[in-house]
Structures are given as C-alpha cells and as structure tokens.
Amino acid sequence: MVIIGGGITGVGIAYFLAQNGVKSTVIERDSIASHASGFAYGGLSGGIPNGPNINTPIIDYSMSLFPSLVDELQTQTGIDLQFRKRDLLRLALSQNDIDDLTKHSNWQKEQENYKVSWLNEYEAKALEPRITDETIGALHVEGSFDVEPYRLTLALAQASEKLGATIKSGNVTAILQENHKILGVRTDKDFIACENVIVAMGPWSINAQSWLNVNIPIKPLKGQIIRLRSDDKPFEFSIGHGKNYAMTKPSDQLVWCGTTEEDAEFEEGTTIAARDQIIDSSLRMLPCLENAELILQTACLRPITPDNGIILGQFQEIQGAYIATGGGRQGIMMGPGISKLLADLIAFGTHEIGIDQFSPNRFTQ
C-alpha cells in the first residue's frame, strides 16, 4: 500500500490503516506538512458560520473524531496539539452582512454541540471591546475549537510510524498499471511495488491524471496569512468578517490574520498585494492592531473541485487506485474524517457514513 502525499490526509490515512492492521508507505517529495497542512489556520467550527454545504456530512463526522483522536495522538507522541475550545465572533458591518450571517439561522441553532446566538452591537462589544465601532451586530458561536495543524499532521505521521507505517522522501513520477491493476509507484529514487495506491497530494493530485489516465478536476486555491505581534492582551475569540479572520494562536502568541482566495495556479510565494489586503481587512475588524508588528507572512495552496465537494474513493476503472483530496479551506477540519473513511473502505470495504456522492467517478459520468 503506497500513499502519495505527506499532508494531513496522507499521513492520516496511514495512521488509520495502521490501526486496522494495514501497513503502508507514505511518499512525500518535501517534508511532512510542508504545504497547506503546515500553514493552515486550524479553526474547527463545524461549518456553522457558513451554513450547510456538500461537505457537511464529512465535517460533522470528522468533528466527532477529534476529541478521542487528539487524546490518542498526544498519548502516543507526547506532542501538544493545542486542541481547545475557541468561540467565534463573526461581525456584521452592514445589512448585507446581517443577511448573510442569519441566512441559515434555523439550521445553525439545530446543530448539536453548538450554541449559536445573534448579538446586537452592544452585546458584541461587551464580549470583545476591541472590535470596530462599525459593528452593528455579530454571530456568536459557542462550541467551536482550534487545533495546531502542523503539530496534528506531525503527530499523525509519528504515530503511524510507531504502528508500522513507513514514510519516505521522494518525488513520484509515475504509477504503473497493467490490465487495470496497480503494479507499483515509480519515484525519482526507486520503484515500489504495490497493489494499492492512494493519491493524496492536495492540488498536485492533478498529476495523477496522466499516471492513471483518469479525470481529476482539482486545482489550487492560494491562501495567504500574516502573523502579527501585538502588545495588547490575546484575543479570546476568533474574530471574523466575511471570509477574513483574526485570532491569537497559543503556539506563538501571535495574532494570525487571513486570508486570501487567489487563482494563482501553482505559484506558492507570498505577495505584497495579499499582505496589504489582509492588513486592511484586519484593521477594519480590529483597529487596535494598527501598531502591531508584522512578524511573518505565509502562503499555501488548497485543493478545490468544480462542485466544491471532496474527492474520496476508488477509481472504478482501476483496481487498487484510490484518491482523497479537495478539502479546500476546510482541509484540516475534514482531515481526520476523510482519512478514516478511506482507511475503513480499504481495510474493511465499509465506512461509517455514505461517501458515494464524493466518488471520483462522478466526474467521468
């Protein structure tokens, strides 16, 4: 069993396979969590602020796994994953914002394990006095969490190795097959014979189109984040407006602000334009950050699909060929769920929730 990709999905699959007694080899061209999984924000909101979408069943399932998974990984590796409750405060600065934030209010209030309430400007200011005076209301979500994505991915990798998985450095150049059956994986260093291969390379999963002669409509959505040092006290809430956010992370005590959504193909560098855009959006939410010091700017590429749904399952044309990708901006939140569902499918032929709607074969019909 070969897994191509050392992000949260790839090493997560290796971990759950190992728990099921299936050993695998993970091939990563750079290092574990060296792309989106290592630079993501790590908010776990259950998708509550934005309402239901095609991936909601995966999000719900994955969120249910986090508490026990965190305990397991911290016990097995000693890595503090910084998993903690962190309420959300989503700001409304216009009537359009109010309409967007309350559009799914009935659905939001029915979600288990969450408490969702609408606050007027005075109630919102009482919770966080530093939000902008433009605030005319806010959505308060209790029951959401944070996790440190790099530490989570690293812990999954280390725990999977302890259970018998192998992690190798290498750049995959081909997947070999004969009579629609997998024969092995060729890298720039060697050839690894196997009967099963899992493509989990994020947006780079598109490379497997030519290797497998299948359609994989995946593309990168670039996102950038800045980290600020502020002399003010840490933020207790994750503050958001539109698609932007700001929060204090315990890992470095910096205020993480983001994010952009850019069609930049596979260009991963940071840009001045994105920096200025994030600064402007952050200052609009939190004018108190005006004198904060810019410490770091990062960029990563998230995988997205035409229908915004993940791609998960087996290619019907090729025996032993699987794929797991397409998490977009919610890749960390869905990572454990995606990984366990595919691992269970491979090990047992079953899974705890339905995944047919996420099949890679939907793009060939």
242 and 289 belong to one structural domain: yes
Residue with tokens 């899992």: 198
Report the distance separating Cα 88 and Cα 100, nearest Å. 16
The yes-or-no verdict on residue 143 having pLDDT over 80 is yes
Q: With contact defined as beta carbons under 8 Å apart, do 186 and 173 qualify?
A: yes
Q: With contact defined as beta carbons under 8 Å apart, do 345 and 325 qualify?
A: no
Q: What is the pLDDT of residues 166-200, one digit of tens each?
A: 999 999 999 999 999 999 999 999 999 999 999 99
The domain spanning residue 110 has which CATH number? 3.30.9.10
297 and 312 belong to one structural domain: no
225 and 291 belong to one structural domain: yes
Q: Which residues of 168-205 are buried (b: 16+ CB within 10 A; e: fewer)?
A: eebebeebbbeeeebbbbbbeeeebebebbbbbbbbbb
Read off φ and ψ for residue 228, nearest 5 degrees: -120, 145
Q: What is the pLDDT of residues 40-92, one digit of tens each?
A: 999 999 999 989 999 999 999 999 999 999 999 999 999 999 999 999 999 99
Q: 262, 280, 304: which is the final residue of a domain?
A: 304
Q: What is the pLDDT of residues 147-164, one digit of tens each?
A: 999 999 999 999 999 999
Domain span at 58: 2-79+149-218+306-363
273 and 327 belong to one structural domain: no
Report the distance separating Cα 148 and Cα 19, nearest Å. 23
Q: What is the pLDDT of residue 252?
A: 93
Q: 274, 304, 334: which is the final residue of a domain?
A: 304
Residue type, 198: I
Q: What is the pLDDT of residue 147?
A: 97
Report the relative pairing of strands 293-304 and 181-187 from DSSP bridges: unpaired
Q: What is the pLDDT of residue 48?
A: 93
106 and 255 belong to one structural domain: yes
The domain spanning residue 35 has which CATH number? 3.50.50.60
Torsional class of 78: left (φ above 0), alpha (ψ -120 to 50), beta (otherwise): left
pLDDT grade, residue 16 (50/70/90)? very high
288 and 166 belong to one structural domain: no
Measured in Å, how far apart are the chain's first and last C-alpha atoms?
28
pLDDT grade, residue 238 (50/70/90)? very high
Summary mean pLDDT of the chain: 96
73 and 109 belong to one structural domain: no
Q: What is the pLDDT of residue 183?
A: 97
Report the distance separating Cα 362 and Cα 365, nearest Å. 6
pLDDT grade, residue 22 (50/70/90)? very high
DSSP 238-254: EEEETTEEEEE-TTT--
pLDDT grade, residue 339 (50/70/90)? very high
156 and 72 belong to one structural domain: yes
Q: 281, 304, 327: which is the final residue of a domain?
A: 304
The yes-or-no verdict on residue 365 having pLDDT over 70 is no
Q: How far is CA 359 from CA 113, 171, 186, 324, in A?
A: 29, 26, 25, 10
273 and 351 belong to one structural domain: no
69 and 156 belong to one structural domain: yes
202 and 184 belong to one structural domain: yes
The yes-or-no verdict on residue 122 having pLDDT over 90 is yes
Domain count, the chain: 2
Q: What is the pLDDT of residues 124-139, one digit of tens each?
A: 999 999 999 999 999 9
Max alpha carbon distance in the chain (Å)? 67
Q: What is the pLDDT of residues 23-41, one digit of tens each?
A: 999 999 999 999 999 999 9
pLDDT grade, residue 364 (50/70/90)? confident
Q: Could you tell me which of 269, 348, 283, 356 has the C-alpha nearest to residue 314? A: 356
Report the distance separating Cα 121 and Cα 97, nearest Å. 13
64 and 173 belong to one structural domain: yes
The yes-or-no verdict on residue 261 having pLDDT over 70 is yes
